[in-house]
Amino acid sequence: MFSKLKMKAKAFSLIEVMVSLFIISVVIMTCVFKYDFKTDVASRKEINTLVSDLKSARSVAMNSGRSIGFRFSEDYYGFYDSNKGEFIAKRELKNGKLYLNKDGESTFDLGNIGANISKSSAATHFPTIYYETKNKTYRINCYIATGRVDVDETKK
């Protein structure tokens, strides 16, 4: 009924299918090991949380008329009441570290360099903050007057 030549031209053998699946799986595993997607997503969440915290602190300071300071170290950041000197909120960094300039030298108290968030700081902005992960560095610029926070991603 069917000739052997026609059947052979239309179908793949089991070995051909298995070899192609093996090649595809090797390519996918190489991509997964090279790019750590889980850490990138977690780092991006931490940056988004930092950005929303900066915006929230700005709106609280502007609406209530009080001065809120921002301090950080490599493993945490927090907001404090400048008048009382006590922390209002503090968050731990799990996937990266923060520093002020590209060379890694840093002054961890932004209150000393004029980065208090208040009504009187309308024209100022934070110095550039860098958030560093295993394979990427993010540059964060916060403009107090407009409430805009820019995040730029750079690879190492």
pLDDT digits (tens, 9 = 90+) for 60-70: 877 877 777 77
Full residue range of the structural domain in which residue 58 is found:
37-155
Asked whether residue 85 is domain-assigned, the answer is yes
Asked whether residue 105 is domain-assigned, the answer is yes
3-state SS, the chain, equals CCCHHHHHHHCCCHHHHHHHHHHHHHHHHHHHHHCCHHHHHHHHHHHHHHHHHHHHHHHHHHHHCCCEEEEECCCEEEEEECCCCCEEEEEECCCCEEECCCCCCCCCEHHHHCCCECHHHCCCECCCEEEECCCEEEEEEEECCCCEEEEEEEEC
Mean per-residue pLDDT, 60-86: 79
Asked whether residue 4 is domain-assigned, the answer is no
pLDDT at residue 110, as a whole number: 42
pLDDT digits (tens, 9 = 90+) for 91-121: 898 888 888 775 554 443 344 344 556 555 5
Total structural domains in the chain?
A: 1
Asked whether residue 2 is domain-assigned, the answer is no
Residue 56: give its domain's CATH number: 3.55.40.10
* pTM over cut 0.85: no
